[in-house]
């Protein structure tokens, strides 16, 4: 993903919103990609904010370049902070089949400071869901996002 010309890339460090803005810039100005739009993310956030208890574990099937995964992680952290919950309990698992996209999402998560919250699992959804339970000990999913 290419930032705008003369963009100070240090602004991306520990800043998920800035990373999502760069993805949007790339999509709108350089290469059209099919991503979850900010309008849809905002609408989804309103729905998720109404859940009680607030979601702590979200699984996304199909991560692509990671914009939605960054957004989910940011949303869930915000929900926990606002409800005096434990942000460290928030986990987003993005399951992606394509190794190149896995690398992109992991890089974005690291740069934006979300690598402790956002975890990318490489492989098909069926196998990844089995590994989620076997390797991560996840017994309950609060939100399941099925990408196309």
The pLDDT value given to residue 49: 95
Q: Which of 115, 116, 34 is nearest to 67 (CA)?
A: 34
For 71, phi then psi, to 5°, come to -65, -45
Which segments of the chain have a pLDDT < 70?
Answer: 1-5, 148
**Domain tally, the chain:** 1
* 112-140 confidence digits (pLDDT tens): 999 999 999 999 999 999 999 999 999 99
The pLDDT value given to residue 22: 82
For 61, phi then psi, to 5°, come to -100, 105
pTM: 0.85
Looking at residue 102, which CATH number applies to its domain? Answer: 3.40.50.150
The pLDDT value given to residue 71: 95
Structural domain boundaries, residue 71 = 12-146
Give a yes or no: residue 6 inside a domain: no
Give a yes or no: residue 118 inside a domain: yes
The pLDDT value given to residue 18: 87
Give a yes or no: residue 36 inside a domain: yes
86 touches 58 (CB < 8 A):
no
80 touches 42 (CB < 8 A):
no
Give a yes or no: residue 4 inside a domain: no
């Amino acid at each position: 993903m290419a930032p705008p010309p003369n963009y100070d890339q240090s602004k991306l460090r520990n800043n998920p919103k800035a990373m999502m803005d760069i993805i949007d810039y790339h999509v709108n100005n350089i290469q059209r990609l099919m991503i979850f739009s900010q309008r849809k993310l905002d609408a989804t956030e309103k729905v998720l904010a109404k859940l009680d208890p607030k979601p702590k574990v979200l699984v996304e099937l199909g991560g692509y370049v990671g914009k939605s995964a960054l957004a989910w992680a940011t949303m869930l952290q915000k929900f926990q902070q606002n409800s005096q919950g434990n942000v460290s309990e928030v986990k987003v698992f993005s399951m992606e089949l394509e190794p190149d996209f896995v690398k992109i999402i992991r890089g974005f998560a690291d740069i934006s400071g979300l690598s402790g919250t956002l975890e990318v699992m490489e492989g098909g959804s069926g196998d990844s869901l089995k590994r989620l339970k076997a390797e991560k000990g996840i017994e309950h999913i609060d939100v399941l996002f099925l990408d196309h």
